[in-house]
Structure 1
Amino acid sequence: MDARIQALWREKLEPWLAGLEADRLRFVKRRWTWTAGGIVLSLIVALVLVQQGFELPPVIMALVIGPVGGFMVGSHELGKLSKRIKAELNATIADALGLTYSASPPAPVRFREMRDYGLLPGSDRQKFEDHFAGQRDGCDFELYEAHLEQRRRSKKRTYYVTVFRGVIIRINFPRKVEGLTVITRDAGWFNGLQAFGRSFGGKKLERIGLVDPTFEKAFEVYGSDQVLARYMLTPSFMERLLALETSLAGKNVRAAFDEHSGQGELLIAAETGNLFEVGSMSKPLTDPGRFSKIVDELDHITGLVDLLIAPAQLNEHEARQGGD
């Protein structure tokens, strides 16, 4: 963390959070008061049910509903404070790093295409948050957090299950990318069924063999042009793509190079869980870990954008050398 970011914490954010500490303590106390009240009420109700001869299930339900309901009601104001602090921290840190921030953005510009290309699963319910945007090395980029759910039905009820929770990254390269190249995860023994290609968003793409067997085990690549795909997918680029999983503690990163924007465009999805949160509200607000965690996560992202762009610039240099 550089001196400028440390000064931001010391001179602005830490004093601001210290001024909210009394509110946090009051709201935490109120939450436990409501929870205790719910426990007492549930015990009374359960005792009445036993005396009235009710069977065990409604008694257990009464013992559960009281504490849970009390905790949820008592947590309302604490939750509002947490959202306020998260928005302020993220916006302030983003501004210091030359980025913009939105807590509740609309759906990403290329969301439908990312689903068509197999980077994201189909979903019936979507939530997007924590949108960061900026520029690195002449390239515009943006990041969203996405929570995607599918609707499931059983005989008794309809419910939703999470099918993706992670980050969506879009990078506009400063040079043209031709065609479409999709990087998916290795499909195991299903690869044989797809040896001659797959359809992505109505586009038939052929399978591209990777030079390095290490990445061949991790990824499946399909493209509209064999030469162009191999030109983009150097071993150094594939290493950096896998580094995204490690640095953001994610998994199943997948990507696509697309000519849609008229310039080079790289779309990435990675299952990272929920990032950019302020942590437990049971701890003092001035705990510097709240701040450093968000800074580290944003540093990882901007650093990864730098790394992902670098191979493309290197390829152009190599291409010029090859033409000499």
Structure 2
Amino acid sequence: MRDFDSIWTELEPWLAGLESRREAVVRRLITGIVAVVPGGLAVILVLSALGLPGGLAVFAAIILVSILIGIVSAPFHALRTEVKHGLNNRLAAAFDLRYAPKPGNPAHFDSFRSHGLIPNSDQREFEDHFSGEAHGAEFELYEAVLRQRRRSRKRTYYVTVFRGVLIRVAFPRTIEGVTLITRDQGIFNALDGLMRSANGRRLERIGLVDPKFERIFQVYGTDQVMARYLMTPTFMERVLSLETALKGKNVRGVFDEALADGFGRGELLLAAETGNLFEPGSLFKPLNARERVETLYRDFELIEEIIALVLAPDEKPEWMA
């Protein structure tokens, strides 16, 4: 991983070169909106004067205004996408990662759901896929936004039920069976335990010796011995540290031997609600502002921290020292 100052030295000229385009697309967007909205009101008046019912006139004006705003804002959104992909590609290379704007095949998405790490969803969006190798293990991370469809008597709408990162790690230690790390459910732990199963096998609650860990998490497994082999005091410290690094955003995970698929001896899946990461910031501010890239750089440090905590707790990047 390169230090931020050297990365900024390379990125600043590129961003400065895009500044005139940014100013132009922002002017076009503002000018277009100022012109389109009054035009929409004029359309309503004209259609109403021609005898079209008021509701239909408003609907037609809304459709027209939406189309025109889409046209005038297209260059704005195109530049934002160009800046985002350019920054993420360059920063990923600096962190020895590979970047793809959209994951071609989201890693084990169905397994995340079947293990209860993420909720059911009717709409799914995936973006910002990163992959690489650390401490001899392959890993990948991507963002997911999941929405559920809701209905009322008058309309159908969608509610976001998960926004965060999904992480897949080829775990370097031998994994047998399934060991699930989920959130503590308080008085509902007993009921939660009765409902847990994996690959047709019932998961039993695993009693651990760390009271701090057990206040936050519950662990279930198909094999008590294997679960304790994986959930060492050191690894529990890693998970607690990861919870802190992500600011308490509901980290949960599973070790599963069935997920290896030639990728390793077994895999660890992690889900965390992190909000929307890896974004380039507002185009209404100068592109070559140092704080814009610093914010994005911290998102990449988070990837580094996650992998370091999961795979090598005694080896920390220099910036974590």
CA drift at 1:69: 6.4
Contact 1:182 1:223 in 2 (8 A): yes
Paired amino acid for 1:101: Y
Distance 1:246 1:88 in 2: 30
In percent, how many aligned pairs have the same letter? 50
Distance 1:208 1:2 in 2: 41
Contact 2:181 2:254 in 1 (8 A): yes
Paired amino acid for 1:239: E
Distance 1:37 1:65 in 2: 16
Of 289, 292, 314, the residue aligned with 2:291 is: 289
Give deviations 1:47-93, integer Å, cap 9, x for gaps: 66999999998899899888776654432211111111111111111
Contact 1:106 1:128 in 2 (8 A): no
CA distance 1:197–1:58, shift in 2 (3 Å): closer
Distance 1:67 1:249 in 2: 41
Contact 2:242 2:309 in 1 (8 A): no
Contact 1:107 1:128 in 2 (8 A): no
Contact 2:206 2:221 in 1 (8 A): yes
* 1:40 aligned onto 2:38: yes
CA drift at 1:215: 2.1
Paired amino acid for 2:7: L
Aligned residue for 2:155? 157
Of 211, 229, 232, the residue aligned with 1:231 is: 229
CA drift at 1:150: 2.0
Gaps of 5+ in 1: 314-324
CA distance 1:63–1:238, shift in 2 (3 Å): farther
Give deviations 1:235-267, integer Å, cap 9, x for gaps: 442333233344234611110111121514211
CA drift at 1:300: 1.7
Distance 1:299 1:251 in 2: 17
Distance 2:241 2:76 in 1: 36
Of 26, 42, 56, the residue aligned with 1:28 is: 26
Give deviations 1:140-167, integer Å, cap 9, x for gaps: 1110111112223333433322121110
How is 1:44-83 mapped onto 2 (pairs within 5 angstroms)?
44-45=42-43, 71-83=69-81
Contact 2:107 2:168 in 1 (8 A): no
Paired amino acid for 1:203: R
CA drift at 1:116: 0.5
Q: Which ranges of 4 or more aligned residues in structure 1 deviate by more than 4 Å? A: 45-72
- The alignment covers a number of residue pairs equal to 311
Distance 2:187 2:5 in 1: 51
Paired amino acid for 1:183: I
Distance 1:251 1:167 in 2: 10
